[in-house]
Structure 1
């Protein structure tokens, strides 16, 4: 899966598409990497040609490019096309950075997308993009100690991203109009790729998480805001301007509560973590979201009702996207996913109430990667872009 954008029908677009087909097969061979970092299986070039449908000569050229750059390795077989090919886990280091409204998480990984080390710290002022990037750079420097620079870095941001720029101050204040890729490249000293955090979560769950094996899925991240990453036929759906998946701003009631986007009755105004905390402020003043979840599990009926209401509204919003896209599975991630069945059960009820019969039983499941989903996706994207940058 790639978000590399070349002119449709161009030679470079065809080359990238062919390379991606080979990489997708090789990544399938290395999804379960043992502790020593050595992939457990490999493909012969003949098998790659059969699996991808590409001409043997095309596969040979791609393999030659990858091995020449040290990104893949081969072991002898019966003839050149009988040699076994695998991506090299030791071909270098990549990094992922995930910014939230209250945290920054940084990880380094290898060329097969496996996270080696990671750190997550609070952000005192997430609106200060310079300070936030400086903190991320310092964390990355610590994680890379003794390894050399990262070959590529992927950056996740909790807002729609168009040409590396966030256009809405309401959704992620302090970053509006900033060329995030250029700003990050200045302090990180590496090629940087910028993506919406929900898209990165969708990438991670699709590749190595609970949505693995499904060609189409939706990942919904619910924390301070609500956003979705959409995978259709193994491809991330970005939309014309990069804002596909902003389901948090579906209008459920145009007379409903005011949303931070300026509209009324948005899904986010009913389902976000902040909404749940506001509902419980009178009974549990100063409580964290985890406190509310603990209270609900201890039979606090108000906490149970707050989470149930959030789940029912989530299901209502999911019905719209399931009716439209018919994904194989919906994955719920972000902070809200920590409530587990307390929100998922009511989300399934809400979905069944508002979805067409043909899709009303679409599975709604918790993220397998939890709060790490976007960070894992960032490492996977950085690894992919490193390999796709081979000339």
Structure 2
């Protein structure tokens, strides 16, 4: 346990002298000296000569040669893979398109090939890969390890994705929802840094959310917390792909947005609509502002129930800034308890739309690697 205390102190504060470690941990200088020697022998720390207060000292830092991390994040029609030394030290990344309604085996095969390609391209062996995190744009049932809704990603139904990927890359694999990963990315490196109770909402082709409660990602009892896209806001509304009526996705997703504009604007992509709205197109602006109001109605329930400090909005529509956030805030102020609405800050996510979930995947992979290292140290 004392070795873990020393290692945790160095991870939290960066390179430290042994005297500084003793101060931070409350351990004696002699104990720290012995522990550092053990950690150095295990390859867990690096030791460098240093000068502090005019005296020679030994600077202790966490060893960087701890292996590689990887994440494979799936969208509706693509997979993005990144390999890194740490969650903020990406070595290589690449995107590969996938056909619409692709099946799990096709997606996992392509992702595994990309992982191998990027690791080998970085001049490393696959044996140096320590952890892989896979993200899917769907609720994940943590009990079964399968997609938690038959109507979402039907081609992945019944597949144990983590097991399939682990067989392909021969490393520990964790599976999570992409909105959860994006929330982790923003919590570690973006708009939710330092927030104890917050929420990240990703709005692109659909809506999903990740919850931070007590400074930790909250997944719920079966892993499906944060599925705001399938919260009913009109029980008589359109039928959703999940089988319910009037889900938020049927009002703010790409399909309803594009359908509303098709009679007047023809065939557009979501990116086209956002660009035209920013250029002043009144029809595109109106439809996206309507989406913002619907999103605000759903968020008002979250604000009343959880009383978060910050809600960060990301995904493609985050490019709209106050054009979207204005209607969101109006709905929250109208529908939430006044004291809760007054205390929440609604802001745009800080990480690029296609980066937040990838960074979050690397954050989770880093946690898996750290847990494995801690387990090894506690039994060493």
Query: In the aligned structure 2, how far is the partner of 1:248 from the partner of 1:366?
Result: 18
Query: In the aligned structure 2, how far is the partner of 1:26 from the partner of 1:159?
Result: 37
Query: In the aligned structure 1, how far is the partner of 2:31 from the partner of 2:309?
Result: 32
Question: Which residue among 355, 365, 380 is the counterpart of 2:347?
Answer: 365
- Pair 1:251–1:221, CA change in 2 (3 A): same
* Counterpart in the other structure of 1:374: 357
Q: Which moved more, 1:257-266 or 1:163-172?
A: 163-172
Question: Which residue among 89, 95, 100 is the counterpart of 1:114?
Answer: 89
- Pair 1:45–1:382, CA change in 2 (3 A): farther
Question: Which residue among 314, 333, 352 is the counterpart of 1:333?
Answer: 314
Unaligned runs of 5+ in 2: none
Confirm whether residue 147 of structure 1 aligns to residue 130 of structure 2.
no
Query: In the aligned structure 1, how far is the partner of 2:368 from the partner of 2:76?
Result: 26
TM-align CA RMSD: 2.9
Query: In the aligned structure 2, how far is the partner of 1:315 from the partner of 1:137?
Result: 39
TM-score by length of 2: 0.85
1:132-182 deviations in Å (ceiling 9; x for gaps): 111112222221121122221111111121232213121222112211110
Unaligned runs of 5+ in 1: 1-14, 30-40
Deviation at 1:297, TM superposition (A): 2.2
* Counterpart in the other structure of 1:242: 223
Deviation at 1:210, TM superposition (A): 1.5
8 Å Cα contact 2:6-2:21 kept in structure 1: no
Matches within 5 A, 1:152-191: 152-163=131-142, 164-191=145-172
* Counterpart in the other structure of 2:372: 389
1:305-360 deviations in Å (ceiling 9; x for gaps): 10000001111111111211122211111222233322122111111111222221
* Counterpart in the other structure of 1:10: none
Query: In the aligned structure 2, how far is the partner of 1:21 from the partner of 1:330?
Result: 35
* Counterpart in the other structure of 1:96: 71
- Pair 1:185–1:215, CA change in 2 (3 A): same
Question: Which residue among 287, 294, 308 is the counterpart of 2:275?
Answer: 294
Query: In the aligned structure 2, how far is the partner of 1:343 from the partner of 1:331?
Result: 12
Q: Which moved more, 1:67-76 or 1:283-292?
A: 67-76
Q: Which moved more, 1:120-129 or 1:263-272?
A: 120-129
Query: In the aligned structure 2, how far is the partner of 1:20 from the partner of 1:96?
Result: 28
Confirm whether residue 130 of structure 1 aligns to residue 102 of structure 2.
no
- Pair 1:294–1:382, CA change in 2 (3 A): same
Query: In the aligned structure 1, how far is the partner of 2:93 from the partner of 2:138?
Result: 23
SS in 1 for 2:211: strand
* Counterpart in the other structure of 2:299: 318
Deviation at 1:188, TM superposition (A): 2.0
* Counterpart in the other structure of 1:70: 43
**Aligned length, in residue pairs:** 360
8 Å Cα contact 1:205-1:368 kept in structure 2: yes
* Larger helix share, 1 or 2: 2
SS in 2 for 1:282: helix
